[in-house]
Structure 1
Amino acid sequence: MTAATQQSESTVGEQDVLAVAREQVLERGVGLTQDQVLQVLRLPGDRLQDLLALAHDVRMRWCGPEVEVEGIVSVKTGGCPEDCHFCSQSGLFPTPVRAAWLDIPGMVQAAKETAETGATEFCIVAAVRGPDKRLMSQVRDGINAIRESGNDINIACSLGMLTQEQVDELVEMGVHRYNHNLETARSHFPEVVTTHTWEERWETLRMVHEAGMEVCCGGIVGMGETDEQRAEFAVQLAELDPHEVPMNFLIPQAGTPYEHYETIEGPDALRIVAAYRLAMPRTMLRFAGGRELTLGDLGAEQGMLGGINAIIVGNYLTNLGRPAERDLSMLEDLRMPIKALSDTL
């Protein structure tokens, strides 16, 4: 077989996966299979714009033009007993992050500032294996104080692995969405975390889903996983049927086992975002940590036009993000309306 023939057959295959996706995902709303996602992830650079355009069409068809804006705050930072290799908040690694707690007035102020950006979602995050009584009490007091301050922003939580009793308690507090990332494909997870299992995380998500809270579950790209594992992770997330999937890109953290990992290239990040949109046509895909480092301003705009329909504004947990004003200005320039609070309740 000549090189020209091989190139011709390859081109046909590349066109076929997008043609199949257009009929299967755009027209019928059926997400791609694992093999199909892998084909998309292996599309060459000259097919990227076609892929992004299709992902945007899928987002508009099945999710609409609105963008959900969220802010997050860490109520308990650092000192986590788990060994997630990407995380500077692990107490097992010699990172610069030290354990600290945020008081109730600080939580109220953070919620107020988040609401003032136009965000409709405020997520309370803690670096823990799972919440103890002290943390659950502080979350309850914080939510009550936020409500008493007159702030009606939606409140989500990310507090690690839960028991059924804790799930029920969060529902009673009025927490409407719970974040607990699976982080990576099941086959790759033991390379990333050894102090707990992928299945333990899945069990928490199952209980959250059955309790009626919205499920927020995503992961981090760029932790040494293969294309096959990225495709595997996409369909595992789709099986979970989450309301929202945060798309994070690894930020190598000093003192962690991944501190010397290279960040993934912008085109690869965009290809992954688009592939995940085609795997989950109706799911909210949120730009989260690492997009500034991986994509920059132009790439962020391309992502918003390539399947993304939600965004975290401001800073992340231990990393600086873009100023909220820049993201809100970007959405205005792209003529993408911010999802109203009444639409998220």
Structure 2
Amino acid sequence: MAEHSILHTARTQVLEHGRGLDTEQLMEVLTLPDEAIADLLALAHEVRVKWCGEEVEVEGIISLKTGGCPEDCHFCSQSGMFESPVRSVWLDIPLLVEQAKQTAKTGATEFCIVAAVKGPDENLLSQVETAVRAIHAEVDINVAASLGILSREQVDRLTAIGIHRYNHNLETARSHFPQVVTTHTWEERRETLAMVKASGMEVCCGGILGMGESLRQRAEFATELAALEPDEVPMNFLDPRPGTPFANLPVMDNKDALRAIGAFRLALPRTTLRFAGGRELTLGDLGAEQGLMGGINAVIVGNYLTTLGRPQEQDLDMLERLSLPLKVLNRSV
């Protein structure tokens, strides 16, 4: 069977020359027939191996402050504005250090500290500084952070303590963002990302697919991320949470999810694409394997912030079964 024209174009433009597809081209990818998905994923895998290498990066995440967030992100059960089950909880520093040790034992090279806030106040930022120093003193692992919208001074402080990568998701296309969040703007998030990038920290920025966006908005989101040139893009799929405004949205179709994975790889040939929340519900075991052989080159192991993932051992076994080598820590001294 002849290769679809958009895949033929991508083979030259993306695989050979490393130039990501634009919005109109991504629309063609996102509307490919089901029988072309295997070819799409095979090409996406070729692209990621050529431009990113064969290794898969493993990361663990933990929440320093869970729940009680003042923002109204419609997908999130940590918002204090919704009737949802997650309430404010803080973790102490010794527990964070222990979690970092356990994460490192899995072979992970990245440990991300997350807080459910619009942005860090002085108390939170001081706790993060103490935690990061304690982790670096005892664990050989890169530490990332996700603390919301930052000021310039806060960016400088995180850089000074050696934060390797900062996560701040744009969540969805700019045109769809007002339907997802109303208490802050897409532009505010984008400004934080610009400061992070200028600081020298790596930029981790992705979002959640399946939040009622159109296919065009999905394509727009991929190209908006590509314009940011992030080091990493976490790919989440909506896991509708009870008590949130998105509680009754349908789970994303698994074939649409696979098309999206292929499309994002063809939009972002040099970027780390990380499997994150919702993949178990949306894709199951077989779909996860297809994604890892179709453009994904990083995974979060263990649980997410408010939803359960798979046991770490299962993901590590899957990577071994697929003969995908783990990325090793290679920090410059």
Shorter-normalised TM range = over 0.9
| Structure 2 counterpart of 1:304 | 292
The aligned runs of 1:122-141 (5 Å cut-off) are 122-141=111-130
| Structure 1 counterpart of 2:41 | 52
2: distance between equivalents of 1:116 and 1:344? Answer: 21
Segments of 4+ moved more than 3 angstroms: none
String of CA shifts for 1:67-102, please: whole Å, max 9, x gaps: 000000000000000000000000000101110101
2: distance between equivalents of 1:260 and 1:124? Answer: 30
| Structure 2 counterpart of 1:317 | 305
2: distance between equivalents of 1:327 and 1:343? Answer: 24
What displacement does 1:227 show?
Answer: 0.3
Aligned partner of 2:72: which letter?
Answer: D
1: distance between equivalents of 2:199 and 2:49? Answer: 29
| Structure 2 counterpart of 1:166 | 154
Among candidates 331, 337, 340, match of residue 328 of structure 2:
340
String of CA shifts for 1:141-198, please: whole Å, max 9, x gaps: 11111122x2020000000000000000000010010000000000000000000000
What displacement does 1:344 show?
Answer: 8.6
Decide whether aligned partners of structure 1 residues 266 and 344 sit closer, same or farther in structure 2, where only a CA change above 3 A counts.
Answer: farther
Answering whether residue 182 of structure 2 is matched by residue 181 of structure 1, we say: no
Answering whether residue 224 of structure 2 is matched by residue 230 of structure 1, we say: no
Aligned partner of 2:10: which letter?
Answer: A
Which blocks of at least 5 consecutive residues in structure 1 are unaligned?
Answer: 1-10
Percent identical: 66
SS of structure 1 residue aligned to 2:86: coil
Among candidates 126, 145, 151, match of residue 134 of structure 2:
145
Answering whether residue 145 of structure 2 is matched by residue 157 of structure 1, we say: yes
State the TM-score, normalized to the length of structure 2. 0.98
Answering whether residue 271 of structure 2 is matched by residue 283 of structure 1, we say: yes
2: distance between equivalents of 1:249 and 1:166? Answer: 30
Among candidates 72, 77, 91, match of residue 102 of structure 1:
91
Decide whether aligned partners of structure 1 residues 79 and 289 sit closer, same or farther in structure 2, where only a CA change above 3 A counts.
Answer: same
For the Cα contact (< 8 Å) 1:69–1:312, is it kept in 2?
A: yes
Aligned partner of 1:199: which letter?
Answer: E
Aligned partner of 1:157: which letter?
Answer: A
The aligned runs of 1:111-122 (5 Å cut-off) are 111-122=100-111
Among candidates 239, 242, 252, match of residue 254 of structure 1:
242
2: distance between equivalents of 1:288 and 1:344? Answer: 27
What displacement does 1:343 show?
Answer: 6.2
For the Cα contact (< 8 Å) 1:120–1:344, is it kept in 2?
A: no
SS of structure 2 residue aligned to 1:317: coil
String of CA shifts for 1:321-344, please: whole Å, max 9, x gaps: 001101111111111110000169
1: distance between equivalents of 2:4 and 2:250? Answer: 31
| Structure 2 counterpart of 1:68 | 57
2: distance between equivalents of 1:32 and 1:343? Answer: 32
What displacement does 1:39 show?
Answer: 0.5
| Structure 1 counterpart of 2:17 | 28
Answering whether residue 209 of structure 2 is matched by residue 221 of structure 1, we say: yes
2: distance between equivalents of 1:140 and 1:47? Answer: 49
1: distance between equivalents of 2:315 and 2:234? Answer: 16
2: distance between equivalents of 1:266 and 1:115? Answer: 31
SS of structure 1 residue aligned to 2:330: helix
Answering whether residue 73 of structure 2 is matched by residue 84 of structure 1, we say: yes
1: distance between equivalents of 2:332 and 2:235? Answer: 20
State the TM-score, normalized to the length of structure 1. 0.95
2: distance between equivalents of 1:60 and 1:259? Answer: 37
What displacement does 1:106 show?
Answer: 1.1
Answering whether residue 27 of structure 2 is matched by residue 38 of structure 1, we say: yes
Decide whether aligned partners of structure 1 residues 32 and 344 sit closer, same or farther in structure 2, where only a CA change above 3 A counts.
Answer: farther
RMSD between aligned residues:
1.2
